[in-house]
Amino acid sequence: MSARQALRAELRAKRRALSEQEQCHAQQQLLTQASDFIHNADIIAAYLPNDGEISPQTLIDYAWAHNKTVALPVLHPFHPQTLLFVRYTSQSNMTKNKFGIPEPQLTTQDIIPIHTINRIFVPLVGFDDQGNRMGMGGGFYDRTLAPITESHQVGYVSFKISTPPTLIGLAHDVQMLDSIPCAQWDIPMSHILTPQKCITMTDC
């Protein structure tokens, strides 16, 4: 096991060790940090928690209550290890992907092009105060986000995107490290929110 793999396993164990009460309290506090980001958006993308991840459900409920469009990631059926974002409502038909994580049923009319999303709330395993993020190791978000963050383009858009999505990592406070050992393909976040912190590369 590499040092990076060992660190990932340690951090995953820390978040899984949080009690149900601690998890519930954390997601309630998270809304305090995230509400302004949702207010100033029309479309947000979030995720459904797995493996002890902090839950963004209060953020999703808040977005719905304020008539925002919500999307969830879905495994791309044709491009391995990448994601599509699909509209999510309280009435969405859900199915489990190969990892056992619920996803909205994929239909072409519910796909939301990534360049139209204002805020993407991203799960993470570890982070530091430079906005660096360690994910689960599959690289799904990194592959999906790389074109739009590095060149402000996506494959189906032939013009430059003037305002790419704001990438916001979500985590428990116990997942913070002094420094994350990054790989060249890791996509940094512009903000990272925890129940107690807002870490940002710009004004928060």
Range of the domain at 69: 3-195
Q: Give a yes or no: residue 80 inside a domain.
A: yes
Q: What distance in Å separates the CA atoms of residue 106 and residue 76, rounded to the nearest whole number?
A: 9
Could you report the per-residue pLDDT of 73-132, keeping only the tens digit for each? 999 988 888 999 999 999 999 999 999 999 999 999 999 999 899 999 999 999 888 878
Q: Give a yes or no: residue 203 inside a domain.
A: no
Q: Give a yes or no: residue 133 inside a domain.
A: yes
What is the 8-class DSSP label of residue 189? P
Strand residues in 32-165 grouped as ranges (E): 43-45, 69-75, 83-87, 94-96, 102-104, 119-123, 126-127, 133-134
Q: Give a yes or no: residue 200 inside a domain.
A: no
**Closest listed residue to residue 31, CA positions, set 81, 65, 79:** 65
This prediction has a pTM of 0.90
Q: Give a yes or no: residue 27 inside a domain.
A: yes
Count: domains in the chain: 1
Q: How far is CA 39 from the centre of its chain?
A: 18
* pLDDT at residue 159, as a whole number: 58
Sheet containing 191-193: order of strands? 83-87, 69-75, 43-45, 119-123, 166-170, 191-193, 198-200
Q: Give a yes or no: residue 109 inside a domain.
A: yes
Confidence of residue 161 (pLDDT cuts 50, 70, 90): low
Mean pLDDT of 157-183: 82
Q: Give a yes or no: residue 60 inside a domain.
A: yes
Q: Give a yes or no: residue 42 inside a domain.
A: yes
Contacts of 57 (CB under 8 A, 6+ apart): 27, 49
If DSSP codes are grouped into helix, strand and coil, which group holds residue 154? coil
Domain harbouring 71, CATH code: 3.40.50.10420
